Amino acid sequence: MQENIERSGQSRNRPSFRTFLFTASSYRKLAGMSAWLLHRFTGLALVAYLVLHIMGLRSLADPAAFEIYVTTYRNPLFKIAEAILLGSVAFHAFNGVRIMIQDAFYRSERQRQLFYGVLVLTFVVTLVGGLSIIFPYFIAPMLP
């Protein structure tokens, strides 16, 4: 731990993926660190999804192709992925709002409470929306 802190201090002026790993393992403010990390991770994942999504829109040129395209994504596994997508969007959106609120009003004093607020909101939205997405696939068949 101590060694990592020193190494990250030495290489502070030269950010790189290795430096990032050292910093991540030595960082003590877990809330801020995980907010930043999750924001970047969900952001990059959403860009990957966006590219696939836009390319899939080509099927709109042919009604039959579009129906087949949509049916592919009605597979139960894709429905779980859809709930994860909702979670990523929700976290990225709420955390983005947190960043804006922090910049405008709080600087860093309230960042931990705000981050926990982000987590709670993300959890609630993902739970409610995710359940309604997977309901016909996983929950309705289990009901008597």
Partner 1 sequence: MSSQNENQEVRSPVRFKAFGWLMQRITGVGLLLFLGLHFWLQHMPNGFLATAEEYNSILRELGSTGQEFADAIAEGALKEALPGEHVITYSKVLERLQTPLWKMIDVMLLFLALSHGMLGVSRSLGDYMHNERLRKIAVAAGWTVSVLLAWQGTMAVMSVGMN
Using CB under 8 A, count the residues that bind partner 1.
40
Question: Which CB atom, from 30 or from 131, has the smaller least distance to partner 1?
Answer: 131
d(CA 52, CA 41): 17
Question: Which CB atom, from 63 or from 144, has the smaller least distance to partner 1?
Answer: 63
Single out the residue of 117, 68, 128, 63 nearest to residue 94, CA to CA. Answer: 117
Find tokens 């201090």 and name the residue: 9
- AA letter at 19: T
Q: For partner 1, which residue of 21, 33, 37, 68 counts as binding (CB under 8 A)? A: 68
Q: How large is the greatest C-alpha to C-alpha distance in the chain, in angstroms?
A: 63
DSSP 15: -
The site for partner 1 (CB under 8 A) is made up of 14-17, 20, 40, 43-44, 46-47, 50-51, 54-55, 57-58, 60-61, 63-64, 66-68, 70-71, 74, 82, 86, 89, 93, 96-97, 100, 129, 132-133, 135-137, 140
